[in-house]
Chain A
Amino acid sequence: MSSLLRLKSPITTIAGSILLVLLGLVPVFAMLLDDPFMLTLFTRIVIMAIAAVSLNLILGYGGMVSFGHAAYIGVGGYAIGILAHHGITEAWIQWPVALIGSALVALLIGLLSLRTKGIFFIMLTLALAQLVYYLGNGAYAYGGDDGLTILQRTDFGGLLDLNDKETLYYLCWVLLVIVLWLTYRVVNSRFGMVLQGAKSNDRRMATLGFPVFRYRLTAFVISGTICGLAGILTATYTDFISPAMMHWTRSGDLIVMVVLGGMGSLFGPLFGAVTFLMLEEILSSWTEYWKIVFGPILLLVVLFARGGIDGAMVRGAAGYALTGLITLFLIYVVHYLWYDDWIPAAVVLAGAAAAILAIWYRQRREAVAIASAGGDHA
């Protein structure tokens, strides 16, 4: 199924827009529920969504499985942290330095890794990201592996006060909307067409006269820069940088978010980030050992629900997926009213299991239908 079709399928766009609006209303919910923690959680969700959207640009549309995207989060974050450490907090210095830094690192990593394909590309992006990770570990002047606390947040003059939680949240949210819009424009431009063409058959694109390597490299750098933006925001809202933010498992988390949501779909990574982090939040409030539930869920998604949430919506299991997602959000709110209660978590788990089973059943039926249709032709 072409990614264009997915982009234009109204159901995903509607669900994505609803989710974006709901996310925009989070500070209101937080105020109504008098729960400041909710805002912190959703700041994280929105920031990770930006990172996931950036990864989707090359993974979903370009077919480049970067297993080292956390490196750019690190570069963006370290740029802010290091400048703040030296007393430079002006936004007009910090942000450009961080963004250009991420772009340069992405350019270097892309130049080296894009020469390879398939599993070697995955491993090379991983290895180069590990290099950046150990660079952070060895940066003893900036805390080594203990990390560095940022004492003063970025100074936007009188324009924005980032110490205000709601201002910071809305900054992240607006940036997410901008990044989504930007991705939409890039993907539907001539550039985006070439990128998607190269994903399905790069030899064909090369034969048509497109310098595929350069197109891919450009996309790689754009993606890295946007991910650097997520790094800037991460450092700002945690007031802390450490090599842990670019550990390889963080890159794994990002891939999970993209695939869980649906690769090559505009809103896919947004669904993925929200689902991933909310599942984490709900499951971890349910049991300390939440990953023992989350790991198998991930396995089930890979085994039975390919195409992720977005794919499920397009394939017609929209009912399950859409209700699932919005219920997840509502249940989360309800969960706060019944604080410390296990019922909502159990409901979510049962729901997730039911949805996965339903999607699997549907795929089975479709596969059978396709097989028998193929038999007729033969």
Chain B
Amino acid sequence: MAFDSLRLHLSELPGAVPAWQGQTTAAELPDICHAVKVQGGRLAALWGTDEQDHGQGYVLHLALAKPEGMLWLRSALPADQPHYPDLSPIFYPAHRLQRAARDLLGIDAQAADRRPWLRHAAWQATDLPLRHDADAAAVFEQGGDDYAFTTVVGDGVHEIPVGPVHAGTIEPGHFRFSIVGEKVLRLEEHLGYTHKGVDKRFQGMALAEGVRLAGRVSGDSTVAYAWAYCMALESIAAAAPPARALWLRALMLERERIANHLGDLGYLGNDGGLAFGLAQFMRLKEDVLRMNAGLFGHRYMMDCIVPGGVACEPGREGLEAIGAECDALEREVHLLKDIYDDHPGLQDRFLTCGRLTANTASKLGVIGLAGRASAQAWDLRAQARPAPYDVLDARMKTHKNGDVAARVIMRFDEIFESLRLVRSVIEHIGAGEIAVPLPDIPSGRMGLGWVEGWRGESVVALESGEDGRIRSCHAHDPSWQNWPALAFAVFNNIVPDFPLINKSFNLSYSGCDL
């Protein structure tokens, strides 16, 4: 067992991914985290829940990941003084996660950084919207928005504020650059503009309904989130979806990856000034999306994964069409890859631009595609291998340069690998049912969903309540881990290269503002 050496009393959670759950006190957390880190583990998620309606205080939840599985730690915090030790010196991503938990719930890591993270002017420091007695429909009195950015001083140093409203149609986020000339000395991100109270909204929803909300946490990863949610719910119900449903889920997940990578490659070319690349890759992406719409009823395959299975059956002809499309895509992407590879102007922009060294990436706990481009070997599909990846044999690729070029190559590599996996799915898939009804679910059970989406891992932690409703549900986006990395990748680059570097990460705002 992956976490044996921690000497905790752990119970194994049933389900598709190897996961364990345990209780601990807040005081023990730093030691446990340290031990996990030493063994090569990392922080996958951190959030809090309010248990005062059960006559207890708060609970701090930690998801710690190792290649072999995930540990879900719960530690109770007293209601009158919900404090716990600062974990950010051990796990860098804890910085923002702890601040977010404090804004929502008032649980405090007592870290040095007292600034809010999610809370902008929309509510006041005394309002804690995730507490059980907070009215979900309440309109809060507006708070102040005087976020104290870290200032850089020196001769000729000045700031450029960018956003939250941008010139393009993208999500809102604020970037504060401290620059001298064109050189970036510091980038500070200020996110949280798309906070919409997803955790609160989950509470009290019917368990079967929750998948629809989970699928909307971050639209470009709807398959990953829906699957993660269903995995958590199926873990609670101790029910396994039929084999064909699992194959179809993997098929959709890989198609989601292909579509997103195609789009990103197009935009990366465009941000390098090569509009040809955008036109060509968007054409290919559009073909994938249209086939999705035809076979699954939705361009991005939203609501196609449901608890107990999948909602749509492409049929034998549909699968054949997908296989044929794979061949065509492979051919065209190879052609375009050659053009990108041989384009001196584009390669000049990509190479050495926005470098995130393996060392920095490891310290920051960077995961997913951006992590693999900086030699961080984390890919759930190749490591914990939840079904059907146990049969599919996904091969993980990593690169060590960590620059924009590496993230571009990663995308090409992953497209080809995903095309191979899709073909393999079509080969392996057998006839049969696509969904089974889930049994009634008792209250107080917990389940974990963990899926490698195109950007990185999506984690969903679910607890069932009375009458088949959700007691609490938390969705974690890989962007939490990777946003801080962007600031490090931009350091010492020039301002005009930022859009390209940003696009090479292509992180979700919605997914971590929640």
Please say whether chains A and B are actual partners in one complex. no
Chain A contacts to B: CB under 8 angstroms:
none
Residues of B that sit less than 8 Å from A by CB = none
